[in-house]
Amino acid sequence: MPGRVEGKVAFVTGAARGQGRSHALRLAQEGADIIAVDLTGQIDTVPYAMSTPADLDETVRQVEALDRRIVATQADVRDFDALKGALDAGVAQLGKLDIVSANAGIFSFGTLDELTEEQWSDMLAVNLTGVWHTVKAAIPHLKANGGGSMILTSSTAGLLAIPNIGHYVAAKHGVVGVMKTAALELAPFNIRVNSVHPTSVNTDMIQNSATYELFAPDLTPEQRTKEALAPRFQTLNVLPIPWVEPIDISNAVLWLASDESRYVTGLEVRVDAGQLLK
């Protein structure tokens, strides 16, 4: 029985682990081949350990275990030429491009008066400019393909504001701007562009001591366990859960990537356990 994206080729950034790996796997499960990139390295202003080459290798292994093809390259979304080179090589190998998941992103914190130049510029460079670079690199391939679907990963922080992450909020709001502009510009080419807006997702981006400190500054480091932090995260949501799983975002990405959503464009899909209702 054909999968919901059978025979399509999907470009996923930040695919080494977390949401990106989950999107690559979910799309592969439904019949897509994958072009995967990831920095697989550390950015100084990011206060948690970022992905490694071994992570990207594991994504490759898991996609291949589903009997799908995957072309994986180390590439930095801040470097347009490198990103384009990786995508072009993937398209050359796999034949075309249908789907783009602009997922690569980082998280760090500080109030607007305390943030350093470097924290701000790293955040905007990866979470906003990196998304534009991904879109820019993909457009010629999607046009050649006669159409396609791009899903840009924003956040609930792309729709509302949260203290201590002003640069993240700004970048994720910016992603919505890129999304809507791209949706308008590319509609005549049958290319759809939408965004996904997760609440907290159960990955290394939030499950780390730095994020725990942000959510529970009143607890000692020893007290800041995952169990102790769960109720703190849960206060953001309306459904009684602390965080969603990567698969929940991947299911939204899959729906947007597939022909089931063939006339959906310019939409912010929230997978947020009701966070925006509050």
Partner 1 sequence: MTGRVEGKVAFVTGAARGQGRSHALRLAQEGADIIAVDICESIPSIERYYAGSTQADLDETVRQIEALDRRVVARKADVRDFDELKAALDEGVAELGHVDVVAANAGVFAFGDKTHEVSESDWQDVIDINQTGVWHTAKAVIPHLIEQGTGGSMILTSSTAGLKGTPNVAAYTASKHAVVGIMRTLALELAPYRIRVNTVHPTGVATDMILNEAAFKLFLPDVEHPTKEQAAAVFESTNALPIPWVEPVDISNAVLFLASDEARYVTGTELKVDAGYTIK
Is 212 in the active site?
no
Structural contact between residues 167 and 240, judged by C-beta atoms closer than 8 angstroms: no
Sheet holding 268-271, edge to edge: 70-74, 33-38, 9-13, 99-102, 148-153, 191-198, 268-271
- Active-site residue identified among 48, 168, 212, 263: 168
Place of tokens 């690569």: 104
How open is the CA angle 218-222-228, to the nearest 5 degrees?
65
The one segment of 86-94, 134-142, 213-221, 257-265 that binds partner 1 by CB under 8 A: 257-265
Q: What residues numbered 142-181 form the site for partner 1, per CB under 8 A? A: 180
**Nearer Cβ to partner 1 (140/266):** 266
Is residue 194 classed as helix, strand or coil in its secondary structure? Answer: strand
Structural contact between residues 141 and 90, judged by C-beta atoms closer than 8 angstroms: no
**Nearer Cβ to partner 1 (92/263):** 263
Q: State the minimum distance, in angstroms, from the CB of residue 77 to partner 1.
A: 25
Distance CA 38, CA 266 (A): 26
Show the tokens assigned to 244.
């969603």
User: What are the respective helix, strand and coil percentages of the chain, to the nearest 5?
Assistant: 45, 15, 40
Q: Which of 93, 116, 223, 262 binds partner 1 (CB under 8 A)?
A: 262
**Which DSSP helix (H) or strand (E) runs through 151?**
strand 148-153
**Which DSSP helix (H) or strand (E) runs through 90?**
helix 80-94
The one segment of 98-106, 148-156, 221-229, 258-266 that binds partner 1 by CB under 8 A: 258-266
Q: Which of 187, 210, 223, 231 binds partner 1 (CB under 8 A)?
A: 187
Q: State the minimum distance, in angstroms, from the CB of residue 134 to partner 1.
A: 20
Q: Which of 74, 190, 208, 234 binds partner 1 (CB under 8 A)?
A: 190
255: contact with partner 1 by CB under 8 A: yes
Active site residues: 168
Q: Which residues bind partner 1 (CB under 8 A)?
A: 1, 180, 183-184, 187-188, 190, 192, 199, 238-241, 244, 248, 251-252, 254-255, 260-267, 269-274, 276-277
